[in-house]
Amino acid sequence: MTDPAVAGPLIVQSDKTLLLEVDHEQADEARKAIAPFAELERSPEHIHTYRLTPLGLWNARAAGHDAEQVVDTLLAYSRYAVPHALLVDVAETMARYGRLRLDKHPVHGLVLSSTDRAVLEEVIRAKKVAGMLGDRLDADSVVVHPSERGNLKQALLKLGWPAEDLAGYVDGEAHAIDLVEDGWSLRPYQKEAAESFWHGGSGVVVLPCGAGKTIVGAAAMAHARATTLILVTNTVAARQWKHELVRRTSLTEDEIGEYSGSVKEVRPVTIATYQVMTTRRKGVYSHLELLDARDWGLVVYDEVHLLPAPIFRMTANLQARRRLGLTATLVREDGREGDVFSLIGPKRYDAPWKDIESQGWIAPADCVEVRVTLPEGERIAYATAEPEERYRLASCTFAKTRIAERLVEQHRGEPTLVIGQYLDQLDELADHLGAPVIKGSTTVRERERLFEGFRSGEIDLLVVSKVANFSVDLPEAAVAIQVSGSFGSRQEEAQRLGRLLRPKAGGGTARFYAVVSRDTVDADFAQNRQRFLAEQGYAYRIVDAEDV
């Protein structure tokens, strides 16, 4: 507990920001105490900035923390008097969660009830919930159409009255699944993450890339011991999940089906790609029938921060199934974190990247931004281009190809990925570097062959497009050179660094280079891309291209 004689490490401000002095002797203790309810915004060298948001406070409430605990924590660690208005606001915001509840009713199925009649009257009259509710049972409860359970939770969250869902889950079709810890064992944080999810019922586990989210998924399946649908980003990821499940659990290959563009197998454990699930023919999502093909006991969403809109809509109908979201970052550039909260569930476990690094489970990383200057002719072309063309011009300058060649030469013999967004640029890089390229048009078989060659050491240099951003297991990768990306996407930057974070033999450091054109929108986007990693404690060194 804090020493009253020591001035606290936290400055609590009336704009709902919390400033944490990193070098303070109680900083670690305070960080752990505020992590359940405060969202980390920035973490440069000396002062880390957190923010109190309604979603963060409701997440904490859903995880079992109450306002009294939050207030006590702020008072215990604050260096100065905590603004009274902020404490009142915290208590009132958290009190909004749970005043509305979804319950099972023995006769009417699903019921929305309230401990505060005025709140129920308010939401019943809201246009957003019109059509989702049935008959009024009494002054404090109203029937909910079972198919609207997810949509109603979404609508109530947007109205500022998040409902506590106590309606429970169906067990689904039983299927024996056990972990087989042969020569390995669950890491402490993996065990804690799986248990936090299971006790909560549904929700999201946030772990850094390389920290073993697939194994957390396997541990959750062992808790559920039921048929499981796993949704993943692509076919390569589906096959890696299958490989890991066969290796880590009692499941056999025959019990695990792949449901992708090329294969349509429905088995007790079925791994489907988001792409096939969201394929429309004549306006109909024909593959969504997969959801009704079995009585699933668990649905796992890999890379949950990427969920496309049709999967959100589909998930709204799956509220009676246990749902587990796995991700390295809940950052969504479209701001739909609230939909993840209401439809998948609250954040059940979150481990900061630097914490996992300090325990030795992921590699340390050196992040370097290399700044190039556009040649005069390209600067004029950039200056006179239409705004929507400027990022491509700044990203695809040949100056970046020259830097990539130099960096590859410096790290010759180390497993290296050169990563970009634009296909013509990637083809040019592959040509100049004499390296194979993997892009959207590369067949799954060829991708798997090249990835396997990289893992085995037969290939030590690959040029890759965004198809390698997610769910591709390349534990040997030690160097990444990023020449272009999806504009200012923070989660893409995190995923790309994540390709490097598997622990290295001998405890080596990963190297992540972002090659950026100065005085252009490329530099502006780079700043935004780096924000999430800066929040996690990764600092970028900036070097000039001449010094590489």
The predicted-structure confidence for 316-349, as pLDDT tens digits, reads as follows 888 889 999 999 887 776 778 888 899 999 989 8
Q: What is the mean pLDDT of the segment spanning 191-198?
A: 95
Tell me whether residue 16 is in a domain: yes
Q: Within this chain, do residues 457 and 402 fall inside the same structural domain, yes or no?
A: yes
Instruction: Return the top range by mean pLDDT from 109-113, 219-223, 350-354, 468-472.
Output: 219-223
Dihedral sign computed on CA atoms, order 3, 8, 13, 19: negative
Give me the pLDDT at residue 6, please: 65
Range of 471's domain?
A: 363-547
Q: Within this chain, do residues 91 and 221 fall inside the same structural domain, yes or no?
A: no
Give me the pLDDT at residue 333, please: 64
The predicted-structure confidence for 458-479, as pLDDT tens digits, reads as follows 999 999 987 766 556 676 789 9
Tell me whether residue 2 is in a domain: no
Residue 354: pLDDT over 90: no
Q: With CA atoms as reference, report the closest residue to 526 among 355, 369, 388, 332.
A: 369
Q: Within this chain, do residues 52 and 72 fall inside the same structural domain, yes or no?
A: yes
Q: What is the SS3 string spanning 181-232?
A: CCCCCCCHHHHHHHHHHHHHCCEEEECCCCCCHHHHHHHHHHHHCECEEEEE
Give me the pLDDT at residue 3, please: 55
Helix (H, G, I), strand (E, B) or coil at 256: strand
Q: Within this chain, do residues 106 and 92 fall inside the same structural domain, yes or no?
A: no
Tell me whether residue 144 is in a domain: yes
Q: Which residues contact 306 (CB under 8 A, 6 or more apart)?
A: 233, 274, 470, 491
E strands, 415-535, in order:
416-419, 437-438, 461-464, 479-482, 510-517
Dist CA 150 CA 312 (whole Å): 9
Q: Within this chain, do residues 195 and 153 fall inside the same structural domain, yes or no?
A: no
Q: Within this chain, do residues 294 and 377 fall inside the same structural domain, yes or no?
A: no
Instruction: Check which CATH number belongs to the domain holding 318 and give it.
Output: 3.40.50.300
Q: Within this chain, do residues 516 and 381 fall inside the same structural domain, yes or no?
A: yes
Dist CA 246 CA 252 (whole Å): 6
Tell me whether residue 171 is in a domain: no
Tell me whether residue 393 is in a domain: yes
Q: Are the C-beta atoms of 320 and 149 separated by less than 8 Å?
A: yes
Tell me whether residue 410 is in a domain: yes
Q: Within this chain, do residues 468 and 377 fall inside the same structural domain, yes or no?
A: yes
Tell me whether residue 317 is in a domain: yes
Q: Within this chain, do residues 369 and 333 fall inside the same structural domain, yes or no?
A: no
Tell me whether residue 178 is in a domain: no
Q: Look-up: residue for tokens 């974190």?
A: 337
Radius of gyration of the chain measured on its C-alpha atoms = 25
Q: Within this chain, do residues 527 and 465 fall inside the same structural domain, yes or no?
A: yes
In the chain, what is the greatest distance between 2 CA atoms, to the nearest angstrom?
Answer: 76
Q: Within this chain, do residues 108 and 217 fall inside the same structural domain, yes or no?
A: no
Q: Which residues contact 72 (CB under 8 A, 6 or more apart)?
A: none
The predicted-structure confidence for 81-118, as pLDDT tens digits, reads as follows 999 999 999 999 999 999 999 999 988 889 999 999 99
Number of separate domains in the chain: 4
The predicted-structure confidence for 157-184, as pLDDT tens digits, reads as follows 999 999 999 998 999 999 999 999 999 9
